[in-house]
Amino acid sequence: MKPPTPEVNHYIDRAAIKTLMGTPQVSTTAMEGTVSGYHRNSLKGSSVEFSEYREYTPGDDLKRLDWRVFGRTERFYLKEFEADTNLHCHFLLDSSSSMKFGNEISKFEYGKKIIGTLSFLFLQQGDAVGMHLSGEISSATSIAKRNPAQLHTVLQALLYGNAEGDEKISSSMHEIAESSGVRSLIIIVSDFLDDADAIMQAIHHCKERKQQLVLFHLLDEQEENFDFRQPTRFVDLENENVVISDPKTVREEYLHALKSHISSIRKGCMETQSSYHKITTKLCLSDGLRPFATDPNFSSKR
């Protein structure tokens, strides 16, 4: 008997949608979209938002001359307005074997729910969405699209995605920084079990490409607390190496190393004005995404 196949809608968390639906997710940095949208464009356009006056230069469109100013000052000025556009959002889901770890729900499954829910929201507000699994950057779902069918495509990709292999997240971040266009939004969902310096370099690479970065750092409760009582044989999920240890003895050092790693990533995000959200998988998704909704680097307030 085959295990029941989860439906694609399983990855859209209705409670989270209900929480986040009323507040459009707007980028604080200028985006370069193809159509009008919620996001500020790097170019001037025809929105209702006044931007600035500029002296006429031969070749400018005469329709944009402000004749009232000419009547008062007999000089030619152009009146310019802000342009609104949509954004291209690229999701990167860490598919290394370490993402399989989890007590009630694995980090990989939790990450899928984050991506499914946010994809629904971004597509609802007209943004283009693309989804990447680490190690599979150039797949069919890698191109961001804004049509409603893209949601199904993304959910299908999530459904068939597996956490296996030992691809480092930093290398996938470098790849996505190059492959996605400038001024797009990259949302990385990973446990970031990689060298902290390599991750920092990848973050800076993305920033150099003028991409806005949102990091969802997934941690299981056991990883976060390391609350084991007896000597344990730890088997690495990526390379199956065995570490025999007495948790009581090394707990403090472990927690110190974890805290230090998180601090490094958080510091990189602060330097690049990227968003960082540490989420413990025991939280329900609506609670897990609530800090994202109120993130000052990525909020509804302009």
Partner 1 sequence: MSFLQPLALLGLCLILAPVVIHLLNLLRYKKQDWAATQFLLKAEKKSSKFSRLRHWLPLLLRILALLALTFLAARPILHEGTGWWSLSAYQPGTVVCLLDRSSSMGRPSAQANQSLQDMAQKQILSVLRDHPKQEIILFDTLGREPLIINDTMVKSQVILDKFFSPTDTSAHLPNSIIHVMKWLERESIGKAKIKVYSDMQNNSWKLQNSAETLATIRHALSRNYKLWELQVHPLQSSTSMNRSIAIEKIFKGIGYIQPHLAIDRSKNIQETITLEIDVGERTQTLDLNLSASKNLLSPKIRLPANNDSPWVRLRIPLDSAPFDNTAYFTTDSQEPKKILVYAEDKKVEEIIVAAAQVKQDLVISLIDLTATKPANLSAVDLIIAQGINFESHSASLENFVKKGGTVIEFPPSALINPSQRQVSWHFAELENISRVFKVQQWNQETGILANTSGGQPLPFSYFETRKRVLPVHGETLAYYNDGKPFLTREKKGKGFHFYFSTLPLTSWSNFEEGFLLVPIIQRIFQTIASPNQEFFKVCGRYESLEYQGALPVTGNPQDSPIENAGIYQINQSTIACNRPLEENDLTYVTKQEVIESLSSNNIQWLAQSSPEDVVKDEELWKVFLLLAIGFLLTEAFFSLPPRLKAAR
Residues in the site for partner 1, rule: CB under 8 A? Answer: 97-101, 107, 191, 193, 220, 223, 228, 230-238, 241, 243-246, 248-254, 256-258, 261
Reduced to 3 states (helix: H, G, I; strand: E, B; else coil), residue 92 is strand
Report in angstroms how near the CB of residue 180 gets to partner 1 at its nearest. Answer: 27
Is the CB of 78 or the CB of 173 nearer to partner 1? 173
Could you tell me the smallest distance in angstroms from the CB atom of residue 231 to partner 1? 5
- Measured from the CB atom, the residue of 7 and 236 that comes closer to partner 1 is 236
d(C-alpha 233, C-alpha 285), whole Å? 31
**Measured between alpha carbons, how far is residue 284 from residues 134, 165, 287, 288, 300 in Å?**
24, 27, 6, 6, 23
Query: Residue by residue, what is the 3-state secondary structure of 146-163?
Result: CCCHHHHHHHHHHHHCCC
The overall longest dimension of the chain from CA atoms, in Å, is 86
Hey, is 85 helix, strand or coil? Answer: strand
Given the complex with partner 1, which of 73 and 249 has the nearer CB atom? 249
Tokens at residue 58, please?
A: 């031969």
Kindly state the smallest distance separating residue 43's Cβ from partner 1, in Å: 44
**Is 62 or 244 the residue whose CB approaches partner 1 more closely?**
244
Residue 191 CB, shortest distance to partner 1, in Å, is 6
CB of 102 to partner 1, least distance (A): 9
Q: Which of 60, 252 has the CB closer to partner 1?
A: 252
